A and B are shown apart, each in its own frame.
Chain A
Amino acid sequence: MTKHWLAASAIFLVGATPVFAWEPTKAIEIVVPFSAGGASDQMARTIQGVIQKHNLTSQPIIVVNKPAAGGAEGMLEIQKSPGDPHKLITTSSGIFMTPMATKLPLNWTDYTPVAMMAQDSFVLWVNAKAPYQNAGDLMAAAKKASPPMKVGGTSSKREDNLIVFAMEKAGGTKLAYIPHNSGGQASTQLSGGHVEATTNNPAEDVANWRGGATKPLCVFAEKPMTYTEKVADGKSWADIPTCTSQGLDVTYTMLRGMFMPGKVTKEQQAFYVNMFKKVSETPEWKDYLARSALMPDYRDGEAFVTFLKEDEAKHARLMSEAGFMAK
Chain B
Amino acid sequence: MDDFASLMAGFQVALSWHNIGFMAIGVVLGIIVGVLPGLGGPNGVAILLPLTFGMDPTSAIILLSSIYWGALFGGAITSILFNIPGEAWSVATTFDGYPMAVQGRAAEALTAAFTASFIGAISGVILITFVAPLVAQFALRFGPAEFFAVFLLTFCSFIGMGRDNRSKILASLCIGFLLAAVGLDSISGDLRMTFGSMELMRGFDFLIVVIGLFGVSEILLTVEEGLVFKGKKAKIDLKVVLRTWAGLPRYWATLLRSSVVGMWMGVTPGGAIAASFMGYGLAKRFSKQGKNFGKGEIEGVLAPETAAHAAGTAALLPMLALGIPGSATAAVLLGGLLVWGLQPGPLLFVEQKDFVWGLIASMYLGNVAGLVIVLATVPLFAAIMRVPFSYVAPVILIICAIGAYTISNSIFDIWLMLLFGVVGYVFKKLDYPLAPLVLALVLGDRAEDAFRQALLGSAGSLNVFWANGLVATLVVLAMLLLLWGPISDMIGAAGRRGRPIEAKAAE
Complex Cα distance A298/B341, Å?
23
In the complex, what residues of A have CB within 8 A of residue B458's CB?
147
Interface flags for A183-219 (1: CB within 8 Å of B; 0: not) read 0110011011111000000000011101111000000
Does A125 make an interface contact (CB < 8 A)?
Answer: no
Stretch at the interface among B110-118, B138-146, B270-278, B481-489: B138-146
Q: How far is the CA of A70 from the CA of B201 in the complex (A)?
A: 10
A148 touches B459 (CB 8 A): yes
Residues of B154-204 whose CB lies within 8 A of A: 183-191, 198, 201-203
Closest chain A CB from B201 CB (angstroms)? 5
CB contact between A195 and one of B46, B142, B457 (< 8 Å): that residue: B457
Q: A68-B201, A158-B189, A178-B144 are in contact. Are A207 and B339 (CB under 8 A)?
A: no
| Contact, CB under 8 Å: A156 / B188 | yes
CB of A53 within 8 A of CB of B346, answer: no
Q: Is the CB of B457 within 8 A of A176?
A: yes
Point out the residue from B46, B203, B343 that lies within 8 Å of A207, measured CB to CB.
B343
Within 8 A of A (CB), among B445-465: 449, 453, 456-459, 461
* Interfacial residues of chain B within 256-289, with CB under 8 A of chain A in the complex: none
The CA-CA distance from A63 to B46 in the complex, in Å, is 8
Counting CB contacts under 8 A, is B323 at the interface?
Answer: yes
Give the residues from 44 to 92 in chain A that come closer than 8 angstroms, CB to CB, to chain B: 45-46, 48-49, 52-53, 60-63, 65-66, 68-70, 72-73, 76-77
Question: Which residues of A are found within 8 Å of B318, using beta-carbon distances?
Answer: 188
Q: Which residue of A lies closest to B145 (CB)?
A: A194
Q: Which residues of B lie under 8 Å from residue A140 when comparing CB positions?
A: none
Q: Which B222-271 residues sit within 8 Å CB-CB of chain A?
A: none
From A53, A61, A146, A155, contact of B189 by CB (8 A)? A155
Interface residues of B in 104-146 (CB under 8 A from A): 139-144
Size of the chain B interface, CB-CB below 8 angstroms: 51
B 32-64 binary contact with A (CB < 8 Å = 1; else 0): 000000000010001001100100000000000
Q: Taking the complex as formed, is B372 at the interface, i.e. its CB lies under 8 A from any CB of chain A?
A: no
Chain B CB within 8 A of A35 CB = yes
Interface string of A249-286 (1 = CB under 8 A from B): 00000000000000000000000000000000000000
Given contacts A45-B335, A72-B201, contact A208 B456 (CB under 8 A): no
Residue from B46, B189, B409 within 8 A of A70 (CB atoms): B189
> With A49-B53, A102-B190, A178-B453 as given contacts, are A36 and B338 in contact (CB-CB < 8 Å)?
no
Are the C-beta atoms of A52 and B339 separated by less than 8 Å? no
Interface flag for B325 (CB, 8 Å): yes
- Find B190's partner among A158, A177, A184, A326 (CB 8 Å cutoff): A326
Q: Is the CB of B323 within 8 A of A207?
A: yes
A132 interface contact, C-beta 8 A:
no
Contact A150 B53 (CB under 8 A): no
What is the chain A residue whose CB lies nearest that of B343? A207
Asked if B376 is at the interface (CB within 8 A of a chain A CB), the reply is no
Are A211 and B338 CB-contacts (below 8 A) given A68-B202, A150-B457, A158-B189? no
A150 to B456, CA, bound (A): 8
For A62, the closest partner residue in chain B by CB is: B46
Total A-B residue pairs with C-beta atoms closer than 8 Å?
A: 158
A49 to B198, CA, bound (A): 33
Chain A residues near B220 (CB-CB < 8 A): none
Chain B residues near A158: list those with CB within 8 A. 189
B328 within 8 A of A: yes
Within 8 Å CB of A156, what residues of B? 185-190
Taking CB atoms, residues of chain A closer than 8 Å to B190 are 101-102, 156, 326
> Is B345 on the interface with A (CB-CB < 8 A)?
yes
Contact B53 A52, beta carbon cutoff 8 Å: yes
Minimal beta-carbon separation of B114 from chain A (angstroms): 27
Q: A191: which B residues are within 8 A, CB to CB? A: 140, 322
Q: A210 to chain B: which residues have CB within 8 Å?
A: 343, 345-347
Q: Is the CB of B203 within 8 A of A68?
A: yes
Of the residues A36, A77, A157, contact of B332 by C-beta under 8 Å: A36
The reply to whether A178 and B457 form a contact with Cβ atoms under 8 Å apart is yes
A69 in contact with B331 given A36-B42, A49-B50, A49-B53 (CB within 8 Å)? no
Q: How far is the CA of A62 from the CA of B43 in the complex (A)?
A: 9
Given A36-B42, A210-B343, the answer on whether A104 and B50 have CB atoms closer than 8 Å is: no
Distance (whole angstroms) from the CB of A76 to the closest CB of chain B: 6
Q: Does B408 have its Cβ within 8 Å of any Cβ on chain A?
A: yes
Indicate if the CB atoms of B144 and A194 lie closer than 8 Å. Answer: yes
Give the chain A neighbours of B184 by CB distance below 8 A: 68-70, 72, 102
The answer to whether A185 and B187 touch (CB under 8 A), given A45-B339, A49-B50, A176-B457, is: no
Given A69-B202, A176-B456, A188-B140, are A157 and B189 neighbors across the interface (CB < 8 Å)? yes
Given A68-B202, A72-B201, A210-B345, A36:B457 Cβ within 8 A: no
B201 near A73 with CB under 8 A, answer yes
A-B contact pairs, 7 of them (CB 8 A): A36-B331, A69-B191, A156-B185, A177-B456, A184-B324, A189-B143, A291-B341
In the complex, given contacts A188-B322, A208-B346, A210-B343, what are 10 additional A-B residue pairs having Cβ atoms less than 8 angstroms apart?
A36-B334, A45-B335, A61-B50, A69-B203, A72-B184, A76-B201, A150-B457, A180-B453, A207-B346, A210-B345
